[in-house]
Chains A and B, each alone.
Chain A
Amino acid sequence: MKLWPSYKKKWNRSLGWGLIALASCVTPYEAEIHDLSTGIVVQGRVSNLPGPYSIKIVVPASNAYKGLSFGVEKAKVYITDNEGNREDLVEQKEPGLYQTTTLQGVTGRRYQLHIEARGKKYESSPEVLRSINPIERVYDETFRSFEPNTGRERQGGWKVYVDTKDPSEPGNYYRWNWIRYKLTDVCATIDVPPGNPAFRFPCCGYCWDIVRCLGPDCVSLSSDALINGKTISRQLITNVPVECLDRVYLEVEQQSISREAYIYWKATKQMLQNTGGVFDSAPTAIPGNIRCITNPDEQVFGLFEVAGITRKGHLVDRTQAEYSNCPPILPLPAGGVVGCAPCVESRYRTAKTPDFWEF
């Protein structure tokens, strides 16, 4: 059986506002605060790419802005496969984070996650690591948009698209991600007064800033239900704005996911994009693939994902942009260079050359 998917794109939110877009408005609302008394959230992934793979287990936060989510510590977490292998995950410093040490995902195998935490046992349904076909083409096209202050049309940036060939059998589900790497020469700053960077320290070697997708529009999904066997074309990955006249390096990731994962991501996307509009689907519980064995009534949120992943690099050439909107580079301290700062590995910065980087 095929799944006939439907999801709404971001423009759905404007429908219904249409004619009276000027009049409809969104205002903050003081809402009732709830606290979930039970339940944990499990998120993590095993793929065909090299590990370590991470599993994050948390207790959900309240729905208030200030609500806090706590990591579940001292849990016993292990992953098994259909060939009888088992690997125990190691608890990390970050509360609720567990990582594999040697596990390497193999296409075609089934993986299952097991958790023993807070006196209860949880397990995921076994998930097969699906094969992934390569990305056929990544390309970009410039687009025009209105400048909000003047109302004039001008170059708005570039849209990055993917074309990919779908295999002939039905039931393939895809998710796409991107990460941008930006070579930087600011590894530290001198702040005068504190909190106000005035001078930069150059990096001691190559160093890249990592830019990730932010906010609710980061989930791109597709299924082959309507395309099966042909090319999924013009899948929008991201918009690159007009900034400096340079080349933007992107890594585009294509994942082959299960139907359950597709439904999970689709619902997540809907929940993230929910704007209460006239034609929004009503919010629903997001179905996952993990359940509590000791107490079947306990709700478990999140997803243990097993995905086939392929990556491709892409350069967006901004050197010919109509105008430049480049943030100023901090000057070096007066009196010349006095040294350099090391590139500290973090979620936002790395010294490791990106896979498809060409010097």
Chain B
Amino acid sequence: MIASRAERLSGWGRHPVQECRVYRPEKVSELGEVMASPPEGGVVSRGLGRAYGDAALNPGGTVVSHLRLNRMLAFDEAAGVLECEGGVSLGEIVDAFLPRGWFLPVVPGTRHVTIGGAIAADVHGKNHHRDGTFGRFVDAIRLVTPGRGMLTCSREQEADAFRATLGGMGLTGAIVSARLRLTRVESAWMTVDQLPTRDLDDALARFADADAGHRYSVAWIDALAKGRALGRGVLMQGDHAPASAAPAKATRRTVRGVPFDLPGATLNRFTVGAFNRLYRATHGARTGAMEPLERFFWPLDAVADWNRAYGRRGFVQYQLVVPIDRADALASVLRRAAESGRASFLAVLKRFGPAGEGILSFPMAGWTLSLDFPVASGLTEMLREMDRTVADAGGRVYLAKDAMLDAVTFARMYPAAEAFRAVRRTLDPAGVLTSSLARRVGLA
């Protein structure tokens, strides 16, 4: 058995921080050994630690890092199908394949996510209304399960295990490798339109047009705006630029970092308010602008360790979805956030397309909103209130970001959890796979 060490770990929100025993296999056989003789306290897999809350934490138990199991294994040029290990990051795939004209069909807001993590959270992107989640482009998954050993699942074979693994938060097995379909692009550039929106109704109305005509759409919302201005922001819509329109010169990005924890008060309602006014002022109506693909999809990756800007206590990112006819619940959450004065630096709104195959996947047809809140007293109570509003509206919150949801509300938000547990019992009868998140919401 390989060596382990104790580490104090957290998710990207840096809250909570928990001490876990970490294994880092460098060979597939070593991963198999850890899974076959799991130490006390159970096991959860971890990639680049971009889940915000406690999805990849397991205090008193084991966390298996997949970062050294990151080999690309095969590429079928004709079909555009890449087979790679779970520890490969989206960024590594972009670096290797974008110069050859291939891109990932779905990308979240950072490129520093592993394939295993992208599958386990069944991540979505700005094209969800058109293309669905990441999982839609996954053809097969190989995973090590405690109950059945090495297992390959797909839509044709072990379909239940496949549907449970998409969005399964790592609770069906350790993802060894996967086959994914890449998509052809003509350039590394995007054509982007931005449209200022007056208020929430204006933003929601404009999504219909944006989504009909564009592959990508998302709106930035000024979460501090109240009253009549509630929900004002900027809608961005984008498409891959054709080769003929792309500038010849490639751009090279410099990444600046946050070198230390900023004081907790750095992002307060005044600084964020000033930023928001500046953002609106500099993002006037504009159409057909050319933007490098990396800046369009991952603007925050240009600031390494931006999560430190919230200070030592960390922050919580709260992402919800409510059915399309429940914009009232959306407004209610937004109003509650604005009135609380808790500065949300990032507030993002998008319209989701239909739900996908993953039993526990987050996206469903409706409105999704994500907000950031620095950890402070009273936050838990406010989020519980929001959880109730969302659950009452028939919506749910995103487990990959969550750090607060309780088991009772989870059960209301995810009625398919029972079906998930049934599949899990076949793959992990002894309940070896577990995490802080899983225990908190009652999945393990």
B partners with A: no
Q: Which B residues contact A (CB, under 8 angstroms)?
A: none
